């Protein structure tokens, strides 16, 4: 039995399970397509492993851009620190390049995709031979008082 379900009380402690129905269809483009556009400078002309890594970095930066402004710098610092750990043995200058790319991606989100408030909760990348398929689970990011909204 797949799909979303909700409990509905019948009475006297009995419950029935029924499907959840959307009250309206989602509007706009699927977030997976938006993320692919957003990550395009990172994912063009890369192999399968690099594609997965680039999508992961892009998604983390996307989510950082949705956090309050005063938290973004610290989140980017931690992200770059983790990237450096994973890339042991990387050539000199990797940390500076990672910092530059992550900052650029956060600014790209704010500039080109500012109205999209969806936060990525989970994602999956499938290699389909000559292409990749990205699946994304998302939720709306909370509005922050510093966002001006």
Domain residue ranges in the chain? 32-137
The DSSP output letter for 96 is H
Q: What is the pLDDT along the chain (149 residues), one digit of tens a residue?
A: 445 555 555 555 565 555 544 444 456 889 999 999 999 998 988 888 889 989 999 999 999 999 999 999 999 989 888 887 776 666 667 777 888 989 999 999 999 999 999 999 999 999 887 888 999 999 998 876 555 54
In a 10 Å sphere around its CB, with 0-12 CB exposed, 13-18 middle and 19+ buried, how is residue 136 labelled?
Answer: buried
Cα 133 to Cα 2, 20, 27, 127, 128, distances in angstroms: 22, 27, 21, 7, 7
Name the pTM for this structure.
0.74
């Amino acid at each position: 039995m797949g799909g979303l379900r909700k409990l509905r009380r019948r009475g006297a402690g009995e419950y029935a399970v029924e499907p959840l129905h959307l009250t309206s269809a989602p509007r706009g483009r699927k977030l997976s397509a938006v993320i692919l556009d957003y990550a395009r400078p990172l994912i063009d002309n890369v192999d399968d492993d690099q594609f997965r890594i680039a999508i992961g970095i892009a998604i983390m930066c996307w989510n950082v851009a949705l956090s309050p402004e005063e938290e973004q710098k610290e989140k980017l610092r931690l992200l770059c620190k983790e990237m450096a750990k994973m890339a042991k043995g990387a050539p000199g200058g990797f940390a500076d390049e990672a910092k530059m790319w992550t900052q650029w991606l956060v600014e790209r989100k704010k500039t080109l995709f500012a109205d999209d408030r969806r936060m990525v909760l989970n994602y999956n990348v499938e290699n389909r031979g000559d292409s990749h398929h990205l699946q994304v689970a998302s939720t709306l990011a909370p509005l922050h008082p510093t966002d001006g909204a």
